[in-house]
Amino acid sequence: MSAWYKLDTVGAIYAHTARDNWNGVFRLSAVLKSKINPLFLQKALDNALKNFECINVRLRNGLFWYYLESNSSQLEIEKDCNYPCRPFDINKKPHLLRLLYTNYRISVEFFHGLTDGGGGWIFLKFILKSYFELCGFCISTDIDCLNDTNKCFNIGNPYIRIADYSKGFLKRNTPKAYAIQLPKSIGERYYLTHFEFDCKKLKAVSKHFGIGIGELLLSILALSVNMYRKSVQQFGKNKTIINVSYDLRKRFGLQSMQNFFGYALIEVDGFDIESVLLNIKLALQRVDNDYLIKGVNTNLASQTKLLHKIVPRVIKDKILNLAYDWYGEKLATMSFSNYGQAAVPNEFFNYVDRLESSCGVARGFRLVESSAISFGNKTVLTLCVKSESTEFEKYVGLTINSLGLSAIVNSNR
């Protein structure tokens, strides 16, 4: 008999708002130092799916809710094409992830209803460890000390574990955000541009301003948006707002393979790095654990009301899609997810050159999203853009140069 699992608070939203041409796909990649052996990679994927049965699932439709059902069909690795983060056919295909490869790059793409970047990274690390061992390399360290990989999933909705209604709820009176105006790409195509930094140089500039690397990258993005607005004279009442993600595993010391992140909307003014940094530092100081718990309370409370529970799934689909289009996506100019320095077994540095990440792009309003991840002395900032235009990437490059930094740039354009 097939096992089934409840979706978490955020996963349920992604399931309800999924469409044929968009369903919230993100990507994590490892660029290796040697050419990939597809046979070993397939075996590594098979091993990972056996150990993470919670990831080897399909999405099912219930009368009131979507849910996840265990899946016995094999997932085949695929040659990567020049179309990152393409939508899943979640109603027909038996899997909610795909494993892609080129000569040197291994990429895993996930439906966001299944997990987030934190859970996805645990899964990719397991695949890499298994792959290197099949290649004959010794990897001595356990991955995140997960002795029972399914246990971290089956304990239930992780948001319930930190919810505390006594702390109150988050009141979001945020104005409609500015949308970066670019011509949409043909066929909803996404383009990834990676800016690869020397981590030591990033640290030096960060130290000069008295901030961390994540705050510096966020400042580069925000200043680039404002300079782009200035160049095309797109002023008005709409603010530049960055949706910054927080891994709640790190904040609260809990493990989960489900979605377990919070976010804060950071409003940024200014056309010079000092003004932008001051805005960001003041805004981020407010994002403590109580702030994140209030956000969890707000999202969780809406799903636990009796009315929400008894409304049929098809009606929830319509309501949540209308809310998402009318309100949800327009809260931010772009999102920014910073994974920080990746914790890996020491042996990984012998075989992996760098890591990359991509949030994918929102459904319609937002045409640019961003993420960053560090591996050893390399930090990669990635832009995912739904436009043939490279104008915004150019402003990011100009902002990077204005700070005395340099970056190796590569893209699928």
Residue type, 153: F
Domain boundary among the residues 161, 185, 219 is at: 161
Same domain as 145, residue 39 = yes
Same domain as 192, residue 156 = no
Hey, what are 48's tokens? 């990972």
Contact 412, 189 (CB under 8 A): no
Instruction: Scan for tokens 């990011």, then name that residue.
Output: 396
Same domain as 157, residue 183 = no
Same domain as 245, residue 129 = no
The secondary structure element, H or E, covering residue 273 is: helix 273-285
Same domain as 293, residue 376 = yes
If one counts the domains in the chain, the total is 2
Q: Which of the four pLDDT bands, split at 50, 70 and 90, describes residue 151?
A: very low
Closest Cα to residue 86, out of 386, 318, 371, 356?
Answer: 386
381 vs 195: CA distance, rounded Å: 5
Same domain as 216, residue 130 = no
Q: What is the CATH number of the domain that holds 26?
A: 3.30.559.10
> Could you tell me the maximum CA-CA distance found in the chain, to the nearest angstrom?
61
403 vs 259: CA distance, rounded Å: 35
Closest Cα to residue 268, out of 223, 212, 318, 217?
Answer: 223
Closest Cα to residue 157, out of 322, 288, 304?
Answer: 304
Same domain as 199, residue 147 = no
Sign (positive or negative) of CA dihedral 280, 283, 287, 292: negative
228-282 tens-digit pLDDT: 999 888 777 889 999 999 999 999 988 888 999 999 999 999 999 999 999 999 9
Closest Cα to residue 25, out of 392, 264, 363, 339?
Answer: 363
Hey, what are 406's tokens? 């340099």
Same domain as 180, residue 117 = no
pTM for this prediction: 0.94
Say which residues have a Cβ less than 8 Å from residue 409's Cβ, sequence separation at least 6.
193, 194, 195, 196, 397
Same domain as 103, residue 8 = yes
In the predicted model, what is the mean pLDDT of residues 186-211?
92
In the predicted model, what is the mean pLDDT of residues 39-47?
97
Q: Which of the four pLDDT bands, split at 50, 70 and 90, describes residue 361?
A: confident
Same domain as 331, residue 405 = yes
285-327 tens-digit pLDDT: 999 999 999 999 998 888 877 667 788 999 999 988 888 887 7
Domain boundary among the residues 161, 180, 201 is at: 161
Domain boundary among the residues 161, 176, 192 is at: 161
273 vs 326: CA distance, rounded Å: 32
Same domain as 34, residue 179 = no
Same domain as 182, residue 140 = no
Does the pLDDT at position 81 exceed 50? yes
Q: Whole domain around residue 64: which residue ranges? A: 4-161
7 vs 189: CA distance, rounded Å: 28
Say which residues have a Cβ less than 8 Å from residue 142's Cβ, sequence separation at least 6.
none
Does the pLDDT at position 148 exceed 50? no
120 vs 345: CA distance, rounded Å: 17
Q: Which of the four pLDDT bands, split at 50, 70 and 90, describes residue 67?
A: very high
Q: What is the CATH number of the domain that holds 216?
A: 3.30.559.30
